[in-house]
Amino acid sequence: MTNLAWLTVADAAELLRTKELSPVEYTKALIARAEKHDKHYNAYLRAMPDIALDDAHRAEREIMRGDWRGPFHGVPYGLKDIVDYSGLPTTAHSKILQDNIASADAVVTQKLRAAGGVFMGKLSTHEFATGGPSFDLPWPPARNPWNRDHFCGGSSSGSGAATAAGFLPAAIGTDTGGSVRNPASMCGVVGMKATYGLVSRRGVVPLAYSLDHVGTLTRTVRDNALMLDLIAGYDALDPGSANLATGGYTSQLGQDIKGIRVGVLRHFYTRDMQADAEIAAGIEAAVNKLSELGAVVSEVATAPLNEYLACNRTILTSEAFAVHEKWMRERPQDYGALARERLMAGAFVRAADYINATRLRRKMTDAFHKLFAGVDVIITASSMDPACRIDDEKAVDYTYGRQARAPFNVTGSPALAVPTGFSQSGLPLGMQIVGKPFSEALLYRVAYAHEQTTDWVHQHPALQ
């Protein structure tokens, strides 16, 4: 069971395709693992073992008769509980929606089911993908598998925790100000926020329409690229969807990175905010490894981090309040305190401030993307600190805002969070690799080259 828990999507796919591994055996092992351990981590909001076994038996019948659908056939996955699965509740981890039954699959769910994936259940989130790790909601918050007393990041908290804990090889999350990349960094896994519009958001509870992304969390770079290959694509019914050719995200994996121009955006984590020393050292060690592999490293600069964060915050809070205004007027007591406080902030943003933020956003986006005339990818911090204790409200609030992820929701750029090692206390460290729009394959190429120089994908938390 332990070995099956740490199978990558790529390795599992080959074993399943060649009939060396039964989808049913694989699924039963992961169900048993979660049943044994998840009471300590709360990664699942709603585990669905019956659906998982039905999917696994179906996949096994199809594979046995030679009808293999591709590298996700028979592979388990989970969905952040703001993503619709037809016939099941989509609660957004909130009392407001605890009786909300999805009438159809989200587009991303459709694609995973069509690929033959095994649906394991709905995963914890921060309430409505905002707020934080709250203890006043109908379900408890997810915890960090590396140390359950610590925060696992958010808002795709269960997606990060379940992947890191070996309950799943892959999970779907969402990202409006960093909510895929934060749990990826806190839990030591890989998280991709692709270019705005690359992945359909139809069937996903919105937070802020112009900033929302659907993203992937996996334990390896290759698995993440495989997942993005599966879920990317144009959706005419999502007004933010990009009608551009997609796919081939694994095509550059294994190619060398000699001559790739890497820009290091240091002022985000050395001047604009002072990152924890271990975080900064992890980034510098990663940059040095890329240089040793032949990358050409230089330093780049853009607007101060706080300007990006203010722009993101103004747009996000305004758009989020527009989504929640009716419920906030009629049922404010049914929100948890953290989400209610964050959502109410949008009621006090003037229309002029919102409009000015959208204008500033365009200027900042254009200026940022001009940097790629001189570099191919940019590296910077993700979180400025390792995970803090989950029961320390002040520390959670302080560290939650100390991040460099929101700038790339403002610009819509693809941003990939990858591990850079561990702190002396055994908690994961991470960084981001950022690119120009629709350069995901290149980001994966650089991340994969770095990953191959480390053994972090072979290190796993010892669960309670």
User: Is 155 marked active-site?
Assistant: yes
Considering 179, 200, 383, 413, which one is annotated as catalytic? 179
- For residue 424, how many other CB atoms are within 10 A of its CB? 7
What is the rounded CA–CA span in Å between residue 20 and residue 23? 10
Closest to 447 in 3D by CA, of 278, 252, 281, 275? 252
Considering 22, 94, 134, 155, which one is annotated as catalytic? 155
What secondary structure does DSSP assign to 181-196, as a single string?
A: HHHHHHHT-EEEE-ST
User: Is 86 marked active-site?
Assistant: no
Q: Give the angle subtended at the CA of 215 by the CAs of 281 and 359, to the nearest 5°.
A: 85
What is the rounded CA–CA span in Å between residue 328 and residue 267? 39
Question: Taking a C-beta distance cutoff of 8 angstroms, is the pair 238, 107 a contact?
Answer: yes
Cα dihedral 220/226/228/232 (nearest 10):
180
- Cα four-point dihedral sign 7, 22, 192, 386: negative
* 332 secondary structure, DSSP code: G
Distances, alpha carbon 16 to alpha carbons 59, 148, 161, in Å: 9, 33, 25
Considering 22, 80, 157, 185, which one is annotated as catalytic? 80
Question: Taking a C-beta distance cutoff of 8 angstroms, is the pair 206, 84 a contact?
Answer: no
Helices (H), 237-295: 267, 277-292
End-to-end CA distance of the chain: 16
What is the rounded CA–CA span in Å between residue 161 and residue 176? 19
User: Is 80 marked active-site?
Assistant: yes
* Cβ neighbours for 275, distance < 8 A, ≥ 6 positions apart: 269, 283, 381, 384, 385, 402
* 348 secondary structure, DSSP code: G
User: Quick one: residue 53, left, alpha or beta (phi over 0 = left, psi -120 to 50 = alpha)?
Assistant: alpha
Omega within 30 of 0 (cis) for the link into 159: no
Q: Encoding tokens for residue 326?
A: 């009716």
> Annotated catalytic sites, by residue?
80, 155, 179
